[in-house]
Amino acid sequence: MSIYIHIPFCTQICSYCDFPKVLKNEKLIDKYLISLEKEIQEKYKNEVVSTLYIGGGTPTSLSLKQLTTLFKIIEKINLSKDAEVTIEANTEDLTIEKLKLLKKYVNRLSIGIQTFNATRLKELNRKININNLKNAFKHFDNINIDLMYGFKSQTILDLKEDLEKIIKLKPAHISTYSLIIEPNTLFYINKYNKIDEDLDRKMYDHIIKVLKQNGYNHYEISNFAKEKFESRHNLVYWNNENYYGFGLGASGYLKNTRYENTRSLTNYLNGKYIMNKHKLTQNETIQNEFMLGFRKVNGINKIEFKEKYNINIDDIKEIKELLKLNLLLENQTNIYINPNYLYTSNEILIRLIDLDAGLC
Amino acid sequence: MKQENIRNFSIIAHIDHGKSTIADRILELTGAITEREMKDQLLDSMELERERGITIKLNAVQLKYNYKNNDYIMHLIDTPGHVDFSYEVSRSLAACEGAVLVVDAAQGIEAQTLANVYLALENDLTIIPVINKIDLPNADVPKVKQELISTLGFSEEEIILTSAKTGEGIKELIETIIEKVPAPSGNPNDKLRALVFDSFFDPYRGVVALVRIVDGKIKVKDKIKLMASGATHDVTELGINSPKQQIKEYLTAGEVGYICGSIKSISDIKVGDTITLENNPATEKLPGYKPMKPMVFCGLYPVESNRYTDLREALEKLKLNDAALEFIPETSEALGFGFRCGFLGLLHMEIIEERIEREFNIDLIATSPSVIYKITKTDGEIINIDSPSKMPDRQKIKLIEEPYIRTNIYVPSEYIGQIMELCQNKRGTYINMEYITAERVNIHYEIPLSEIVYDFFDKLKGVTRGYASFDYDLIGYKPSDLVKMDILLNGKSIDALSLIVHKDFAYKRGKAIVESLRKLIPRQLFEVPIQAVIGSKVISRTDIKALRKNVLAKCYGGDITRKRKLLEKQKEGKKRMKMVGNVEVPSEAFLAVLSMEEE
């Protein structure tokens, strides 16, 4: 079993962010943590948990005291011995004191850098504390760095600079995301322009090339890792496995049912947690398996698929067609998206999201 | 009612000059309807008619009016205002003795004003000229009067000034109609001759035919015969519109009304045909009947191929009320199953397409319109084709002829240059130009009809900033140096995009189509070349670059449901696309030939 915990508080709001979040407010945080504890008590059935992910918002924006309260709640979770416990962090928050506290409860940091370029940081409404960043690497060996690209007027040269700086830090894991202008973000409101699709693709191809040269394994559309440092928690999503989602706007997947928590803080504080629940049909489960599984560069394991659904993946009509078109490829063990089409994978996935696998 | 106290008249006008509002005021003033019953512009009952401000189907209303202590019955016969329906106009004019010619006080004489006047004159009608909308701030009554006097030869005293909006002049108009329009002259004791000038389908009574009794008398239970088609029917009901239907025992010479006879198909009782009695038939039918022939053709296909049957039902239902609409099944490699449809003209085509989409809720792909080409083959055989796909091999063609029209383009003289340039680009031949006034001209060109069915109207409006009005007469077939141009997507010829073009214009048009398709077809997973070819010769080529990005970049936080919705939305967007070979083509692309930009 896995758990995602959402901490929706931030010191400042990034221009691109459309996750559930609010500006930090001490009283709200205290109430939130009480409600969160209640939610976990209500839902969690004490399963052994092998990955736990604390995301946000900015979890590290909580004070030492509040973080301690949060970890008290988490201590009650039945974590396996080798559990992967990640917390998302901003460099500004990572003082020595906080790093020391975090070190006691988590073994993986996911640090949002996005870019080192001062002008762009300003556009994004973000800051970086280089000193804290370096300290973080002294305390943790399993660190992910988030890198963003595709900014207005960004060039390949600019991207190279960011990449070099990140590689120098030797993080175990790197996530790269092309900027998306989502509705209800500052960028959307301000009509921020993105680079065009062709340059975006060039940047993506460049990132793959450079990170491979530096020993990173490209294992998911946007994710790269040193050997054995793949994000086990994210693999739970991509393998279509079960997880709890706790906190504002969090989503979970249990007993064939996907649920979403409320995005209203008032409702959440009043204990009205779940907003939507949807029990999946077998077909939907398989469709999701493809939508998620084909995010992985190695795709879907044929034997595991057969074990899970009791049908052969290459008996499915749509899969056969895509193999014939060379949009999907296969080897002895796996079926995967032709790497040339990974960055246009939606075109492939939409042919799979309404397939009928002949089950109910 | 004595025959001498009957008056039958129509109102004719250019679009928007106020024909329907004048009709409304006449109906009010004669008490046919009260103001409260008044839907604005009662005679235009179809929703689409009201939106477009034009009358498509005709109507005939009986009015009563007391003038100088005599009771009069007047029949107001409405006419459609567009050139596509000029045959129907001419038949309803044939049912009248007089016509009220309405001209807008601000616009003056326009193309359809004259076209309608000529139709009225052909039918020997007494014309009463009216200048309407005199209440408008930009009305220029002296100028419009001058146009009526100099162009049409009316005298100043004849012209009636009205404002249908305020009601001014309407009473005078009604009384002038009584004074000037002759009473019907037919003989009630002669053998029955009734002119069918319109018909519509009623689900309960079958076809309802609107008729003018020219000679004789018709009663319920009469056995009637259509003199042109030879069909016979029993009259089950007859009556008049006032404007509500009133059942009558009989209709007699000079009267206008409706008859029903359990007639199943509108094609059984065609507009222009003469009704007589089967056991006491007239010897000669009324003049002027001709079967309506579609002039413009296009393929109509459902965007979702499983709606083919729905489309057929929609066309069948529309056909019930529209004798001019023709359709036969057609198969396209690119578009699947659909229908080749024939229309009277472009407006007729647009109206049918809109009604199918709106009333029957079927998304349509319409291929670019075509005319009928007459082809003489080398073996002497002559064939008519209404679709580029039916064009024989070039080696087998001796001669191709295409239909030509003669234009009436009414335009302020400052736009003469632009009009000439436009007509030249449309393969037009200049004939002459008439000055209506010092500032307004009527320009005559001979232009192939196929050029008109593309974007002529839009271009005309564009270059004259909406000041031109346009009308045309068909003048027959002329030989042309035409070739079939095919469009290839990813190396595969797309039948639905083929078109027939003039050799000298082929290069330019090919380039424009290819360019317009490049803009309309979204990038695909692979590069897609677009080519315009004649035979095996490539005239123009461009490529749609391969799609470089379409990905859900981040997928963390486990929010799978939202990501899935994004994909479903993308999938939904593809529904308006047709898979042509392995290329996804949006339905709009099949009209690319119409939307292309020529430099």
Strands (E), B49-168: 60-67, 70-77, 98-104, 126-132, 160-161
Kindly give the residue spans of alpha helices, DSSP state H, lying in B383-490.
416-425, 449-451, 457-463
- Report the alpha-carbon distance of residue A47 to residue A26 in Å, rounded: 32
| Residue B577 exposed, middle or buried by CB count within 10 Å (0-12, 13-18, 19+) | middle
Q: In B, which residues are within 8 Å of A347 by CB distance? A: 525, 547, 550
pLDDT at position B452 is 87
Annotate B14-40 with b (16+ C-beta within 10 A) or e (fewer): bbebbbbbbbbbbbbebebbeeeeeee
Q: Which is more confident, A145 or B573?
A: A145
CB-CB under 8 Å, A197 with B547: yes
Which residues of chain B does A253 touch, with a Cβ-Cβ cutoff of 8 Å? 558, 560
* Contact residues for A98 (Cβ-Cβ < 8 A; gap 6+): A60, A64, A67
Question: CA geometry: angle at B455 spanning B454 and B461, to 5°?
Answer: 155
N- to C-terminal Cα distance for chain B? 65
pTM of the entire predicted model = 0.72
- Domain positions in chain A: 2-236, 298-360
**Chain A residues 157-186 with a CB less than 8 Å from chain B:** 175, 177-178, 180
Inter-residue contact B334 to B299 (CB < 8 Å): no
A345 touches chain B (CB under 8 A): yes
Contact B568 A343 (CB under 8 A): no
Neighbouring-strand partners of residue B406: B446, B473
B551 with A250: Cβ contact below 8 A: no
Q: Which residues of B are less than 8 Å from A295 in CB distance?
A: 552, 555
How far is C-alpha A355 from the geometric centre of its chain's CA atoms?
A: 26
Q: Do A197 and B552 touch (CB under 8 A)?
A: no
Put simply, the answer to whether B557 touches A6 (Cβ < 8 Å) is yes
* pLDDT given at position A65: 96
**What are the chain A neighbours of B574 within 8 Å (beta carbons)?**
350
Min Cα–Cα distance to chain B from A266, Å: 21
* Residues of chain A positioned with their CB less than 8 A from the CB of B584: none
Of A276, A292, A345, the CB nearest to B560: A292
| pLDDT < 70 stretches in chain B | 33-58, 81-83, 555-557, 593-599
Q: Within A229-358, where are the H helices?
A: 232-238, 265-269, 282-293, 302-309, 317-324, 345-349
Beta-carbon pairs below 8 A across chains A and B: 102
What are B362's two structure tokens?
């079927």
Does A98 score more than 90 pLDDT? yes
Side-chain half-sphere CA neighbours of B274 within 13 A: 21
Nearest CA-CA distance, residue A199 and chain B, Å: 9
B111 torsion bin: left (phi>0), alpha (psi -120 to 50), beta (else): alpha
Give residue B35's pLDDT: 60
Handedness of CA B529, B535, B536, B541 (dihedral sign): negative
Give residue B57's pLDDT: 46
Per-residue confidence (pLDDT) for residue B530, from 0 to 100 = 96
Taking a contact as any Cβ pair under 8 Å apart, which residues of chain A between 25 and 54 contact chain B?
A: none
pLDDT given at position B593: 66
- The count of other CB atoms within 10 Å of the CB of residue B518 is 15
CB B82 within 8 A of CB B383: no
Q: Over B484-537, what HEC string results?
A: EEEEEECCEECHHHCEEEEHHHHHHHHHHHHHHHHHHCCCCCCCEEEEEEECCE
Put simply, the answer to whether B548 touches A346 (Cβ < 8 Å) is: no
Of A55, A344, A350, the CB nearest to B574: A350
Within 13 Å, how many C-alpha atoms sit on residue B81's CB side?
27
* Strands (DSSP E) found in chain A: 2-7, 9-10, 22-23, 49-56, 79-89, 108-114, 143-149, 173-178, 217-220, 223-225, 243-246, 251-254, 257-261, 274-279, 300-301, 328-330, 334-337
Phi, psi for B26 (deg, rounded to 5): -65, -45
ipTM of the complex: 0.92
The answer to which of A46-60, A244-258, A289-303, B354-368 has the lowest mean pLDDT is B354-368
State the angle between helix axes of A156-169 and A197-213 in degrees (0 to 180), rounded to the nearest 10.
30
CA distance A194 to A152: 5
CATH topology of domain A2-236: pyruvate-formate lyase- activating enzyme (3.80.30)
User: What per-residue confidence (pLDDT) applies to B58?
Assistant: 44
Supply the pLDDT for residue A246: 97
Interface test with A, best of B524, B527, B550, B572 (most A CBs within 10 A): B550
Residue A20 to residue A247: CA distance in whole angstroms = 10
Say if the Cβ atoms of A201 and B548 lie within 8 Å. Answer: yes
**Contact map slice: A 186-205 vs B, CB within 8 A:** 197-198, 200-201, 204
Asked if A1 and A48 count as a contact pair (C-beta separation under 8 A), the reply is: yes
Distance from CA of B459 to the nearest CA of A (A): 34
Task: Write out the E strands in A160-261.
Answer: 173-178, 217-220, 223-225, 243-246, 251-254, 257-261
Between positions 54 and 113 of A, the ones with CB within 8 A of B are 55
The answer to whether the Cβ–Cβ distance between B549 and A204 falls below 8 Å is yes
Beta-carbon contacts of residue A141 (< 8 Å; ≥ 6 apart): A172
Which residue in the set A245, A260, A346 is minimally distant from B570, CB to CB?
A346
The beta-carbon neighbor of A201 closest among B549, B552, B563 is B549
CB contacts of A237 in chain B (<8 Å) are 555-556, 558, 560
H-state helical runs in B328-483: 346-359, 416-425, 449-451, 457-463
A54 DSSP β-pair partners: A5, A87
Going by C-alpha positions, the residue among B560, B463, B451 that lies closest to residue A349 is: B560
Chain B contact for A341, CB < 8 A?
yes
| Distance linking the first and last C-alpha atoms of chain A | 26
CA-to-CA distance for B119 and A7, rounded, in angstroms? 80
The answer to whether A275 touches A263, Cβ cutoff 8 Å, is: yes
The β-bridge partners of B168 are B163
Q: Which residues between 528 and 587 in chain B have a beta carbon less than 8 angstroms from any beta carbon of chain A?
A: 545, 547-561, 563-564, 567-568, 570-571, 574, 582
- The domains of chain B, with CATH numbers, are 3-180 (3.40.50.300), 193-277 (2.40.30.10), 296-366 (3.30.70.870), 373-480 (3.30.70.240), 483-595 (3.30.70.2570)
- CA proximity to B439, closest of B470, B469, B471, B410: B410
Q: Report pLDDT for A129.
A: 97
- Closest residue of chain B to A279, computed from CA coordinates: B561
Q: Is A299 on the interface with B (CB under 8 A)?
A: no
Kindly tell me the burial class for residue B337, based on how many C-beta atoms sit within 10 Å of its own C-beta (0-12, 13-18, 19 or more). middle
DSSP B454: I
Q: Tell me which chain A residues have a C-beta less than 8 angstroms from the C-beta of B560.
A: 237, 251, 253, 258, 288, 291-292
CB B134 within 8 A of CB B162: yes
Question: Which run of H or E residues covers position A172?
Answer: none
DSSP label of A299 = -
Exposure pattern of A128-146 as b/e (b: 16+ CB <10 Å)? beeebbebbeeebebbbbb
- Residue A296 CA to residue A330 CA, distance in Å, equals 13
